[in-house]
Amino acid sequence: MTGTGEAVAAGVPGARGSGGDGLPRHVLDRATFRAIAGARGGPEAVRLLRAGQLSKRALLLVAMRRVAPRDEGFREAYDELCALQRSDRARWEEVLLRPELDAWAADCLRALSLGPAAPPDGPDGPAGLGGFLRAGVGPVLDLECDGLRWTPVVDHLGPRRVDYGRPPAGPLSTAELRGWEEQLAAAWEILVRRHRGHAAAVAACVAAVVPLHPAPGGEAVSSAARRAYGAVATSLPGDPVLLALALVHEFLHVQLGALLDLVPLHRPNGPAVHHAPWRPDLRPAGALLQGTYAHLGVASFWCAEAAAGVSERERAEEEFARWRAHTLTAAGTLLECGELTDNGREFTEELARSVRALGG
């Protein structure tokens, strides 16, 4: 299975195969594709999808360099980034994978396409690349449990270039940051000890946690943005189990977004005519696929919670039954909608098989 992402600009290790133009392509084998569809791809699948994101972002910057006006700030930052690629590959990847660089670069390219007078000045314009090289968006946590380490940054300083659906909660006070660290550490222990497969994938993918304000009634919220690979946005639910669940749920949104950059799974721009059991409004096929995939993670989370014999086992069993049924219903809708590609149909069939296997 050959995706559409070209690795030539990024020099990404692990990209195999080539197209008729001689450029290398990212190749995803069927076994890995099905493992991703079943939410069991783990760190190896994350590595492949991460390589695709590196190529995508490197190509965005190459395109900017070709069409940008003579912006000295951008050229200096671009040259610095190229030097970094040669001297410190790990640091280069860290900069390129800053979650919101994708949205910033795409917005800049869109503005540049309108003419030389269109690009904004400052951090939102081409010169903003330098900010990603020197970004300090919050403290880096070092969370370790039973030999598995996760080192996310609590990104509470911004600037925000994507919409997470709720207002960001930052900047946070020292006491508030301490509370975030304590809650994330507790959620991490739950993931490692009862959901280790998901924990390993989260650690490999999620580099930033963006604090959000809760909903007006105080209800916890979480989200992910398609153009912010590696970031999960959430409020603090007050229950580490629910925070652990939010991390799994949003990680799967992030993972599917990265897969869609390589492998089209549905026709674009479909109408919002499909019912999602967890929402009152109708959804286009792409949004329903995202929700269905994320809720495979929700169902598997509650299945594992019930099997672990937790103190609130009755809640876990009820949630598992509910989300298993909802996810199977949504998968059935997708398979009947006529908007999936062949790969999308295979993906959804494997997703449905994985849901049916839960609790068996």
Question: pLDDT (tens digit, 9 = 90+) per residue, 68-122?
Answer: 767 788 999 999 999 999 999 999 999 999 999 999 999 999 988 887 666 667 7
Instruction: Give me Rg for the CA atoms of the chain.
Output: 20
What are residue 18's DSSP bridge partners? 24
Q: What are the residue ranges of helices labelled H in 68-128?
A: 72-87, 89-96, 101-112
* Distance, CA of 308 to chain centre: 27
Q: Give, rounded to a whole angstrom, the gap between the first and last alpha carbons of the chain.
A: 31
The tokens of 210 are what?
Answer: 């963006």
Looking at residue 188, what is its pLDDT?
Answer: 99
What is the b/e burial string over 283-307, where b = at least 16 CB atoms within 10 angstroms of the residue's CB? bbbbbbbbbbbbbbbbbbbbbbbbe
* Distance, CA of 341 to chain centre: 22
pLDDT tens per residue, range 30-68: 999 999 999 999 999 999 999 999 999 999 999 999 887
In the chain, what are the domain boundaries? Answer: 32-135, 137-263, 264-360
- Phi and psi of 212, rounded to 5°? -120, 155
Mean pLDDT of 313-323: 97
Closest-CA residue to 17 (of 5, 32, 31): 5
Cα three-residue angle 43-223-237, rounded to 5 degrees: 100
Please report which helix (H) or strand (E) contains residue 51, including its range: helix 42-67
pLDDT tens per residue, range 257-274: 999 999 999 999 889 999
Closest-CA residue to 310 (of 222, 234, 235, 239): 239
Q: Which residues contact 328 (CB under 8 A, 6 or more apart)?
A: 352, 355, 356
